[in-house]
Structure 1
Amino acid sequence: MSKLQILKDYFGHNGFRPLQEEVVDAILAKQDVLMILPTGGGKSLCYQLPTLLMEGVTVVVSPLLALMHDQVTALKANDISAAMLSSMQTPEESGHIESQLRAGKIKLLYVAPERLLNPYFLGFLQQLPINFFVIDEAHCVSEWGHEFREHYRGLSLLKERFPHTPIAAFTATATKVVEEDIATNLRLDTPKRVRGSLFRSNLTIQAQHRIKDGREQLLEFLKSYQNDSGIIYTLSRKQTESVAHFLQTKGIEAHAYHAGLSTEEKNRTYKAFVEDRIQIVVATIAFGMGIDKSNIRFVIHLSLPKTLENYYQEIGRAGRDGLDSETLLLFSAQDIIQQKAFIEALPETPYKQHAFDKLDAMIRFSNSESCRHQSIAAYFDDRIELCSDKCDNCTTTEIQRTDITEASRKMLSAIYRTGQNYGLHYLIDVLRGSKEQRVLQNGHDKITVYGIGEEFTRNQWLTVGDKLLELGAVELGEFKVYRLTQFGVEVLKGGHTIEIKKERLSIQKAEPKRKVTFFDDYDVALFDKLRDLRAQIAEENAIPPYIVFSDKTLKDLSAKKPLTKEEMLQVHGIGEVKYDRYGEEFLALLKEQ
């Protein structure tokens, strides 16, 4: 069978996506490979397809049990023999899989790096005909990466123990430094290097300064996604639970996910999410790498991520099916202070300054007025054209600025006149002439700055305070007390002009956007019926709905409305295997319409 026939029959595609065939051919030629391709670019197919044309078994090293489980489930649904070995299995289950491997009945074996370093398991592998190793999420190898894992570092022994077995390493994100570290550490032999463009054409990226806790902005955004799946990232465990509860009070099915929850509860939430039984997961970064759900329509960050690598990987979980999806980053100067405090607490090593540098890059990106996609690509040493209409900066035809020098000087004067001993909210009370007991008791209703800021709302003054923090005109002391810096003194004396984006001072509620999808002319009512049937089949087979058919496949079905097997095989994502398993039920529904 040819690679194109396998591509159609097992994976339901009529042709390869960019760079896929190049990597498939390199693996078939028994070359080492290092592929850097964004999430949703189709990395998995690059190693799942060639093993079907080769003798022996492919061993895939993956960092997360949930990811391995989902991959194995999806492969079995495509009639490809796959298994995983993990600490969650009983000795009997592990023994059965080992027997199948010896008998040559498994084509893809998924294992965690910890198991691969186990002496017994290494000895067992040396008895098997291994065609090649796959290192998934290969950036975990690098100490210069954002998710370094000690066990990944030990994978360098593969070339010692299996010198003639090729290695294919895959990751969605790697700077040039990380790329070199991966190749060196894994001891790749003149690998075929393939680096895809980081531009995700179906992903719209936005970043806004957060107003208060960002909840009004969050609700405004969610108006456009009332029945869609999404992830909301927060900085703390406590915040995941409070935001999830807040959304539940608004009638939105949202669950919290963080490392402090029991394994059972985390697994329950994860399973409900991939099976489309809950709409939103509010999570810390504990919910992340390897989420294999294709129809996530949005990813929101309610605070500043610590690195651009983290951010890019997290937003990459949206739109893996190729349909239009959206991301929103809400941040404030307080996030910057908090992230810097985390880094300050680290031991003095070369990586401490490295962490500061990465945070600075994240801050520059957040405040940037350049194309968001272009900024991300440049960070990863990629060069792309402006996205034109896929980020907030490119869709803003002209950025309007307003002069806040006078307001800044009022704020700085209030800091100075109150002795540099108070936090931002207290300073705003003074500027707005509050009758709060504390202000009166301190006698600050008698100082010259009392009541001189009534022209601004509390939110606008919070924005001014944020801007002064960003510029380094003020710094936070203990207990979040505001203090002047030398630059702040210069501003106070009239030495500098301070400007800000006008939109930051006048928060306007945007009209809900009409969502543009990959298929503009699909039958929405039919799509809903197909989705219901998919849910029923998924439940009967105890698998996530996207493994039956992706949203993209259902939309193509509802647009083309096939009535025969031949017509159905022309639909995106449907090959012989998927048709044999599920095709007749969907055809029956389509014929009823």
Structure 2
Amino acid sequence: MADLKVAVKNCLKYFNVVTIKPEQQRILDAILTYKDCMAVLPTGFGKSLPYQLLIPVKKELGQNDGKKVIICSPLIALMKDQCERLSQISGVRAVYLGGGCRDPAVERGEFDYLFAAPEMLVGDQHWRSVCQKFQVSTIVIDEFHTIATWGEDEGGKKAFRKWFSYIGEMRSLYPEASVLALSATCTQKISSRVKKILNFSTNIIEICVSPNKENIKIVVQKIPNSIEMALGWIIEGLHDGTFPRTLIYCMSIKDSSNIYMYIKNELPECTCIDMFHSETDDKKKSKIMEALKDPSSELKIVVATSALGMGVDLVGFYNVILYGCPKSIVDLVQEIGRVGRDGQCSTALLLHNSYHMIGVEKEVKEVYKAGKSTSNTTNTINYSCRRVAMLAPFHKATELSQLKEVEPVHSCCDLCYSICQCVSCSQTRIEKLFHFTLDDLSAEEEEEETDEYTESYESSDNEDIDNLLLDINLD
């Protein structure tokens, strides 16, 4: 084992990493010994590092057997980025297999790492036949929760990307290979479904770190239906220079466009705002992505849909506003977790009106309705803390009981803040800028949020085709 530690230490320099975390080491140990592993690690944890280390460590140990690593991922931009980084390591060959690709290097098997979407690996008969000839040590399924959230028909709608539900077939293509399944946010229900699809045995190595980000305060506020009334405080903050660097998530392209145009119309000279969604020009996407990684950039606000999604590394962002309710609890946790990646105190401001509640999962409603009476709602738990409500689907009851150890309590959520007895309580910067309170809205009629509404809130535009960073044929 001493040799392995030295090898890992020598290889970490390729990734500008000083030490490897215990959970990362456990993953690496598993795939080095051909054992299946399912790991759920928070955003920013570095869950890709173990399989990126696999080939360099084998070479360092003189144990490289020539077997390949295949990474199946939904994120084109992330695959290309990782492929480029791995290719910079001497003696390591990484290739990306995209739509319309007929790369001779892939045909000849001249690679150590192959990155591809499931549409190519199991859905394309040509590449399925080509890749089946290779000797593979490890199959990596990145963001494995998409197997259930994207690959399955739901509510009468066809699956967004059906080939995700066929990823389990890769086990029959490479029966000797181990499978490493990775995700940042996965509920216990999704985890059970994915285990069956991937044919995991009962002795699978499971590594789970809570998606809880104690440094992010969760604040929920109901707002008027009008964007002008709901977001006027942002204009004031931008005008006097007090508005902090913030990511604004919307549930549709239409909402993101309306908010962006509202701010631009009110402040025509404002150059610190931009918009990111699936229809945004690729060059502009790249420009925004670079600015998100640069804390010295003048970019102060990005109005985005879920297209600015998994795999995004935001630097210097400590505030996120959710305008509307994400459909699933997984999406909610993902979007909140995009800020405060360095552990500094951050705020997630969840703004919603009655129409935003239509069609969202029960678990999401429980976060927004925490602390309220639920006498007229069936099968709903009345949580007194939004953080506990948000994390309940991800934890067993025994684990959930330990979540209230967050200190100080006022930094947990707005409900905890309201009952905190400490003398140091203060609102966060963006909370202070937010002028609306529930009392301010008392004149507005309180409508019952229910799925039985006959009027839909922009229902035809609510799906941004999540993370459409695709250059593949999905047909």
TM-score by length of 1: 0.59
State the match for 2:130 in structure 1. Answer: 124
Pairwise CA distance, 1:260: 3.9
The alignment partner of 2:391 has SS state of: helix
Residue aligning to 1:463: 442
1:462 Cα offset (Å): 4.1
> How far apart are residue 149 of structure 1 and its match?
3.5
Measured against aligned partners, the alpha-carbon deviations of 1:435-463 in whole angstroms (never above 9, x if no partner) come to xxxxxxxxxxxxxxxxxxxxxx9995743
Give the match for residue 195 of structure 1. Answer: 208
Report the CA distance between 1:371 and its aligned residue. 3.3
Is the 2:42–2:209 contact (alpha carbons within 8 Å) kept by the matching residues of 1?
yes
1:307 Cα offset (Å): 2.2
1:173 aligns with 2:173: no
Distance 1:64 1:216, change over 3 A: same
CA distance in 1, matches of 2:324, 2:132: 47
**CA distance in 1: counterparts of 2:100 and 2:262, whole angstroms:** 35
Q: CA deviation at 1:220?
A: 6.9
- Counterpart amino acid of residue 378 in structure 1: A
Question: Conserved in 2, the CA contact under 8 Å of 1:369 and 1:393?
Answer: no
Deviations 1:242-297 (A, max 9, x none): 32234442725222223344555545544554565744321222321232445543
Task: Find the aligned partners of 1:135 and 1:38 in 2 and give their Cα distance.
Answer: 16
The alpha-carbon distance between structure 1 residues 463 and 7, as it changes in their structure 2 partners (threshold 3 A), is farther
Q: Could you tell me how far apart the structure 2 residues matched to 1:458 and 1:280 are? A: 23
Contact 1:236 1:284 in 2 (8 A): yes
Q: Aligned in 2, Cα 1:209/1:267: closer, same or farther, shift over 3 Å? A: same
- What is the root-mean-square deviation in Å for CA atoms of aligned residues? 3.6
CA offset at residue 201 of structure 1? 3.1
Distance 2:30 2:233 in 1: 47
Provide the C-alpha distance between the structure 1 equivalents of 2:456 and 2:81, rounded to a whole number of angstroms.
Answer: 46
Cα deviation per residue 1:294-341 (whole Å; 9 max; x = unaligned)? Answer: 5543321112222221110111222334444332211122322xxx2x
Partner-residue secondary structure (3-state), 1:194: strand
Counterpart position of 2:114: 109
Shift of 1:356: 5.0
- Unpaired runs of 5+ residues, structure 1, are 344-354, 401-456, 481-593
Aligned ranges 1:25-64 → 2 under 5 Å: 25-54=29-58, 55=64, 56-64=67-75
Quick check: 2:244–2:319 contact (8 Å CA) kept in 1? Answer: no
1:407-422 map, 5 Å = none
1:237 aligns with 2:253: yes
- Aligned with 1:49: secondary structure? helix
* Inter-partner Cα distance in structure 2 for 1:19 and 1:458: 42
- Classify the secondary structure of the residue corresponding to 2:166: helix
- Does 1:137 pair with 2:143? yes
| 1:327 partner amino acid | A
Match of 1:254 among 266, 273, 280: 273
Determine the C-alpha separation between the residues in 2 that align with 1:263 and 1:112: 19
Corresponding residue number in structure 1 for 2:104: 95
8 Å Cα contact 2:11-2:57 kept in structure 1: no
Residue of structure 2 in register with 1:289 after alignment? 310
- After superposition, the Cα gap between the structure-2 partners of 1:53 and 1:189, relative to the gap in structure 1 and judged at 3 Å, is farther
1:160/1:256 Cα in 2 relative to 1: closer, same or farther (>3 Å)?
Answer: same
Corresponding letter in the other structure for 1:46: P
CA contact (8 A) 1:116 1:122 kept: yes
Given that 1:232 and 1:281 are in contact with CA atoms closer than 8 Å, whether structure 2 keeps it comes out as yes
The alignment partner of 1:35 has SS state of strand
List per-residue Cα deviations over 1:383-421 (Å, max 9, x = no partner).
232223433336625389xxxxxxxxxxxxxxxxxxxxx
| In structure 1, distance between residues paired with 2:34 and 2:249 | 40
What is the alpha-carbon distance in structure 1 between the residues aligned to residue 453 and residue 306 of structure 2? 26
Alignment partner for residue 306 of structure 1, among 318, 322, 327? 327
Contact 1:7 1:15 in 2 (8 A): no
Q: Is the 8 A contact 2:38 2:182 kept in 1?
A: yes
Encode CA deviations 1:36-83: one digit per residue, 9 max, x unaligned.
112122211132122322333211111021121222334446666433
* Max Rg structure: 1
The answer on whether the counterparts of 1:6 and 1:49 sit within 8 Å (CA) in structure 2 is no
Identity of aligned residues (%): 26
In 1, distance between residues paired with 2:346 and 2:100?
Answer: 35
Aligned to 2:78: 67
In structure 1, C-alpha distance between the alignment counterparts of 2:259 and 2:233, rounded to whole Å = 13
Cα deviation, residue 219, structure 1: 5.1
- The residue identity in structure 1 corresponding to 2:442 is T
Shift of the 224–278 alpha-carbon distance from structure 1 to 2, 3 Å rule, reads: closer
TM-score (norm 2): 0.72
Q: Partner residue of 1:151?
A: 163
Alpha carbons of structure 1 residues 142 and 14: separation in structure 2 relative to 1, 3 Å: same
Alignment match, 2:425: none
**Structure showing the higher helix proportion among its residues:** 1
In structure 2, relative to structure 1, the CA distance for the partners of 1:75 and 1:260 (3 Å cut) is same
CA distance in 1, matches of 2:312, 2:129: 31
- Please give the per-residue CA displacement for 1:2-24, whole angstroms capped at 9, x wherever unaligned: 34414542233343324222222
AA partner of residue 414 (structure 2):
N
Q: 1:220 to 1:62 in 2, by over 3 A?
A: farther
Shift of 1:362: 4.6
Aligned partner of residue 469 in structure 1, secondary structure:
coil
> How far has the Cα of 1:373 moved from its partner?
2.7
Letter in 1 for 2:386: R
AA paired with 1:255? D
C-alpha deviations, 1:163-198, integer Å up to 9, x for none?
111110011122222111111101123321111122
Distance 1:174 1:18 in 2: 20
After TM superposition, list the pairs within 5 Å mapping 1:202-221 onto structure 2: 202-211=215-224, 212-213=226-227, 214-218=230-234
CA contact (8 A) 2:367 2:390 kept: no
Superposed, 1:475-490 pairs within 5 Å as: none
**For 2:244 and 2:437, how far apart are their aligned partners in 1?**
34
* Count of equivalent residues: 397
Aligned residue among 359, 363, 386 for 1:372: 386
CA distance in 1, matches of 2:371, 2:78: 30
Alpha carbons of structure 1 residues 70 and 469: separation in structure 2 relative to 1, 3 Å: same
Q: Assess if the C-alpha contact under 8 Å between 1:134 and 1:168 holds in 2.
A: yes
